[in-house]
Amino acid sequence: MKTANQETLYGKNPQQLAALCLEEGLPRFAAGQIARWLYKRHTEDPAQMTDLPAAVRTRLAQRFTAALSAPVRVSESADGTRKYLFRTRAGHPIESAYIPEAERATLCVSSQAGCRMGCRFCATGRQGLQQSLPAEEILNQIVSLPERDRLTNLVFMGMGEPLDNTDEVLRSLEILTAEWGFGWSPKRITVSTAGVVPQLRRLLDATKVHLAVSLHNPFPEERAAIMPVERAWPVAEVVRVLREYDFTHQRRVSFEYIVLSGLNDTPRHVRELCRLLNGIPCRINLIRFHRIPESPYFSPPDEEMIRFRDALTARGIQTTIRASRGEDIQAACGLLSTQEKARQ
């Protein structure tokens, strides 16, 4: 009988497939054949891999369990945003948000069920970490999405801290961007991090994807009060690492900034942001705070968001206000899965 712990074929990279072919007595080129079935045709069922010998197909079917599974729930917003709930093989609910716009369609994927970073403004942080997702469960959110063929962009900004699951996130990025894999341009992918410094260089060295850093406050003590990660890896250290890399050509860096009324949106914060980011070609994305239950934080009124944006722009930092999407369907990351956990 198959169990949740069984190995999956989906999610393996060419080196792993080559090792498998060796074990199965297949020629090395069979690794490429299997990769094509998995990542071009998106089938993981060995029975359909008709260019492999029948006996091998039977053995693979016995050996590997299915990785791909459809979402178990969907909520649709009036603005077209859809939040999908997937269940991991270990049974944890995870969220993906599909965000269609005029000229692009973005999927926000989760890299973990829950998160251990504990950001105070985040419903996922309150859950704690239940599970880091293997590459196949990250990829499943894309492959099993009903709108898969419409996707233009991917952001790792769902549940979890991608750099707290770096090995599997890198494997999923390899499969997404390699010619033998999905063949996506890295320019279509953004990985967001709260700033896990030891893993940041790995990501920047191993990939060409865009980077988003969750900043939210430029002052160490104030940031630590809402983001405990600041105590382990100060954002000043993150910025020092970023200065070693080129963000002028192929890849971009942006800073995510949830605006919390009265807490991080004063002229003092404008000045410190400019000092901290001085000389880094970047953009700041201002984000409205999506309320979560029993939270002391509030988003400022629109006119104050605009004033804050204009103050940063006037000092030379490209700053945008991100459009709020899916407000009516538990837009804050982690709320839907928190409800699902309560329901179980």
Catalytic residues, by residue number, are: 95, 333
Contact predicate 207/173, CB 8 Å: yes
Q: Which is nearer to ligand SF4, 18 or 122 (CB)?
A: 122
Beta strand 318-321 with 283-288 is parallel
Would you call 23 exposed, middle or buried from its count of C-beta atoms within 10 A (0-12, 13-18, 19+)? exposed
Residues in CB range of 293: below 8 A, 6 or more apart: none
Spatial CA neighbour of 159 closest among 110, 93, 123: 110
Residue 216 φ/ψ region, left for φ over 0, alpha for ψ in the -120 to 50 degree band, beta for the rest: left
d(CA 232, CA 18): 39
Spatial CA neighbour of 141 closest among 67, 206, 45: 67
Q: Which is nearer to ligand SF4, 56 or 117 (CB)?
A: 117
Candidates 95, 136, 161, 168: give the one binding ligand SF4 (CB under 6 A). Answer: 161
Alpha-helical regions (H) of the chain: 14-24, 30-35, 54-63, 123-127, 135-143, 166-177, 197-206, 220-226, 229-232, 235-242, 267-277, 302-314, 335-343
Contact predicate 35/14, CB 8 Å: yes
Q: Which is nearer to ligand SF4, 124 or 132 (CB)?
A: 124
Shortest CB 302 distance to ligand SF4, Å? 23
Residue nearest to ligand SF4 (CB): 125
Candidates 26, 194, 203, 329: give the one binding ligand SF4 (CB under 6 A). Answer: 194
- Look up residue 251 and give its DSSP letter: -
**11: contact with ligand SF4 by CB under 6 A:** no
**119: contact with ligand SF4 by CB under 6 A:** yes
Shortest CB 161 distance to ligand SF4, Å? 4
Provide φ and ψ at 301, rounded to 5°. -60, 160
Amino acid identity at 196: V
**125: contact with ligand SF4 by CB under 6 A:** yes
Beta strand 82-87 with 73-76 is antiparallel
Q: Per CB under 6 A, which region of 50-58, 116-124, 240-248, 263-271 contacts ligand SF4?
A: 116-124
Candidates 122, 142, 170, 287: give the one binding ligand SF4 (CB under 6 A). Answer: 122
Amino acid identity at 329: I
Candidates 13, 124, 166, 199: give the one binding ligand SF4 (CB under 6 A). Answer: 124
**160: contact with ligand SF4 by CB under 6 A:** yes
Q: Per CB under 6 A, which region of 59-67, 70-78, 100-108, 153-161 contacts ligand SF4?
A: 153-161
Q: Per CB under 6 A, which region of 52-60, 121-129, 196-204, 307-315 contacts ligand SF4?
A: 121-129
Candidates 34, 67, 143, 159: give the one binding ligand SF4 (CB under 6 A). Answer: 159
Shortest CB 156 distance to ligand SF4, Å? 10
**331: contact with ligand SF4 by CB under 6 A:** no
Q: Determine the size of the site formed for ligand SF4 (CB under 6 A).
A: 11
Binding site for ligand SF4 (CB under 6 A): 115, 117-119, 122, 124-125, 159-161, 194
